[in-house]
Amino acid sequence: MAMNLRLPEELDAQLEEIARARHTSKHAVIIEAAARFAQSESKTERVLSFADEIAERYADTIQRLEDA
């Protein structure tokens, strides 16, 4: 899917420097960064969901620990 991306000059320069150091394109660097972000967000959602399940499952135990 095509997409235009307008970056602040400073960020663009940083990406250019990274791309040059890796001998690749800014496009490849941005794709990698976006993929890492998406994966990180997905993991965060799974962890939060798991924490909610644990809190629900052990609500009585948690309450007793608070009262102790």
pLDDT digits (tens, 9 = 90+) for 41-66: 888 888 888 888 888 888 888 888 88
Residue 63 resides in a domain: yes
Residue 28 resides in a domain: no
- The secondary structure of residue 24, as a DSSP letter, is S
pLDDT for 68 beyond 80: no
Task: Work out the pLDDT band at 21, boundaries 50, 70, 90.
Answer: very high
Residue 51 resides in a domain: yes
pTM greater than 0.85 (yes/no)? no
Q: Looking at the 3D structure of the chain, how many domains does it have?
A: 1
Residue 29 resides in a domain: no
Residue 65 resides in a domain: yes
Domain that holds residue 54: 38-68
**Cβ atoms within 10 Å of 21's Cβ, excluding its own:** 9
Calculate Rg over the CA atoms of the chain: 21
Note the pLDDT of residue 42.
81
Residue 50 resides in a domain: yes
- The secondary structure of residue 60, as a DSSP letter, is H
Residue 55 resides in a domain: yes
- Which residue, among 5, 6, 27, has the nearest Cα to 16 in the 3D structure? 27
Q: Name the E strands within the chain.
A: none
Residue 43 resides in a domain: yes
